[in-house]
Amino acid sequence: MGIRNQKREILERLDSKTLDAKFLTEVEQGLNCSPFEAEAVLEVVKEVYFPFVDEHCAKAPPGKVTLVAVSADEPAGKPVVECEKQTVCLTVHRGAQDDQIIQKDGPAGFRQARMADLCQEALSQGALLTREDLAYRVFFVSPRTITRDLSLLRSTQSDVVIPLRSTVHDIVPMLTHRTKIVRLALEGKTMTEICQSMHHSPQAVSNYLSTFVRCAQLAQKKMQVGQIAFLLRRGQRLVQQYLDLLTECQADANTTYHLEELLRLGTCPGGKKGHGRRRPHG
């Protein structure tokens, strides 16, 4: 057996998480064609469309970065190159508050302050980051530096959940984790209460609830699980759990009320309860 070339393996994993690689996989699996044929299709698409796409492409908001990561529904241990990918948009720099963190604690303090939220933000969009993603796509440091940051975070903030692909088995199962957040909203918890209870950022919680609301809306149109999963770009297991939760909550007056509020608002209320309307008991 030959000696493993770890640097080459890292480059291959990173190369498999690009838009080109995602497109090739979609074409190969969707059209049942060979890698050679998929490459040919990609080149034609680039030649015909890219000049116009580049010219009119919208600029990313300040502080944001878009990258391709492994779908959260993929099992641990599966080779990255064979995994389904998701494109996620992450908020790396939030503005003045992060400027203050950098001034006070330096680059290491900034990384440690943002790492958990970035991983949660990716998960809320259906993907799990890796140490390599954080190192080579977000912070531009070595994976060893990211490992040291993670070790320090876990030793000083044991209640912080950092959902990385490599630690997925150390956390509450991802699907249960997501549906628990939705369940809290259906019980009438505010955004602030959910964030405090689940150690999530408001944006991550909002993304979970937005996906649930879209799932519920499509279910009202009598769409099937597979159709909803395809339209929302989410796994069928997650969609099925959301639909089961939807059926469950419709049997209770209190959760039905909050479901209607979610469908009306698209998310749950912010810091304070009530918002001028009386909540039903129960």
Which of these three, 111, 140, 168, is where a domain ends?
168
- pLDDT of 263 strictly over 90: no
> Do 164 and 107 share a domain, yes or no?
yes
Question: Measured between alpha carbons, how far is 148 from 134 in angstroms, rounded to an integer?
Answer: 12
On whether residue 78 sits in a domain, the answer given is no
Write out pLDDT tens, residues 15-47: 888 888 888 888 888 888 888 888 888 888 877
> Do 149 and 179 share a domain, yes or no?
no
Which of these three, 168, 203, 221, is where a domain ends?
168
State the alpha helices, DSSP H only, in the chain. 6-15, 19-31, 35-56, 96-124, 131-133, 143-156, 174-186, 191-198, 202-220, 225-232, 236-249, 253-265
On whether residue 191 sits in a domain, the answer given is yes
pLDDT score recorded for residue 2: 64
DSSP 160-203: ----BGGGGGGSS-HHHHHHHHHHHHHTT--HHHHHHHHT--HH
The residue ranking higher by pLDDT, 250 or 281, is 250
> Do 210 and 238 share a domain, yes or no?
yes
Work out the pLDDT band at 8, boundaries 50, 70, 90: confident
- CA trace torsion 50, 53, 54, 55 (10° rounding): 120
On whether residue 72 sits in a domain, the answer given is no
Angle between helices 202-220 and 253-265 (to 10 degrees): 100
Which of these three, 133, 168, 203, is where a domain ends?
168
Paired residues of 66 in beta bridges: 89
Helix (H) or strand (E) holding 68: strand 64-71
pLDDT score recorded for residue 276: 39
Range with lowest mean pLDDT among 166-175, 227-236, 270-279: 270-279
Q: What is the phi-psi region of residue 95: left when phi exceeds 0, alpha when psi lies from -120 to 50, beta otherwise?
A: left
> Do 158 and 225 share a domain, yes or no?
no
On whether residue 240 sits in a domain, the answer given is yes
The residue ranking higher by pLDDT, 142 or 265, is 142
> Do 162 and 178 share a domain, yes or no?
no
On whether residue 229 sits in a domain, the answer given is yes
pLDDT score recorded for residue 54: 57
Angle between helices 174-186 and 253-265 (to 10 degrees): 100
Domains contained in the chain, number: 2
State the residue range of the domain holding 209. Answer: 174-265
Both tokens assigned to 161 = 């959940």
Instruction: Starting at the earlier edge strand, list the strands of the sheet with 127-128.
Output: 85-91, 64-71, 127-128
Write out pLDDT tens, residues 142-180: 999 999 999 999 888 876 778 888 876 554 455 567 788
Write out pLDDT tens, residues 52-67: 665 555 666 788 999 9
3-state DSSP call for residue 223?
coil
